[in-house]
């Protein structure tokens, strides 16, 4: 139980740090804005490192949401996950975050099954909850 609490605290810390690095002219306590804008950290930057760490910690929650929706465990690539929105709904320097991610689960090489939007809430203490899973588009799998 202590391991789980420690891991969730580490997740919250890394996400909190990475959120702090995201704050630029496009990001505020209100979020990124429209879902057509995605945040992309500069290649090789510390910001990219924190973003990758944050996504890595969220991957088990993402994979579980994908399996729950599709009824099958499809793969997701952490490097292809797009951050479409980040908010601090309770204001500056509070530790509740709502993150919207767009993913493309796949099976085998170049066989994406769809495009999905996942909304994840993170609260201090490492409490992570998938708030919603929205299926945006279905891709037909090629048959061999």
In the predicted model, is pLDDT for residue 1 greater than 80?
Answer: no
CA dist list (Å): 62 to 84, 129, 133: 15, 10, 9
pLDDT of residue 34: 42
* 9 contacts 120 by C-beta, under 8 angstroms: no
Residue spans of the domains in the chain: they are 2-138
Q: Summarize pLDDT for 27-80 with one digit per residue, the tens.
A: 433 444 444 567 788 999 999 999 999 999 999 999 999 999 999 999 999 988
In the predicted model, is pLDDT for residue 116 greater than 90?
Answer: yes
Question: What class, spelled out in words, does domain 2-138 have in CATH?
Answer: alpha beta
Count the neighbouring beta carbons within 10 Å of the beta carbon of residue 30.
10
In the predicted model, is pLDDT for residue 113 greater than 90?
Answer: yes
Residue labelled with tokens 């509070």: 94
pLDDT of residue 23: 43
pLDDT of residue 110: 75
């Amino acid at each position: 139980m202590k391991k789980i609490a420690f891991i969730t605290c580490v997740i919250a810390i890394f996400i909190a740090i990475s959120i702090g690095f995201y704050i630029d002219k496009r990001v505020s306590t209100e979020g990124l804005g429209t879902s057509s804008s995605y945040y992309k950290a500069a290649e090789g930057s510390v910001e990219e490192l924190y973003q990758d760490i944050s996504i890595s910690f969220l991957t088990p929650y993402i994979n579980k949401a994908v399996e729950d929706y599709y009824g099958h465990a499809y793969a997701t690539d952490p490097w292809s996950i797009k951050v479409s929105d980040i908010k601090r709904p309770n204001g500056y320097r509070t530790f509740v975050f709502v993150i919207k991610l767009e993913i493309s689960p796949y099976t085998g090489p170049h066989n994406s099954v769809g495009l999905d939007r996942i909304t994840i809430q993170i609260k201090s203490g490492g409490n992570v909850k998938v708030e919603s899973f929205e299926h945006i588009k279905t891709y037909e799998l090629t048959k061999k």
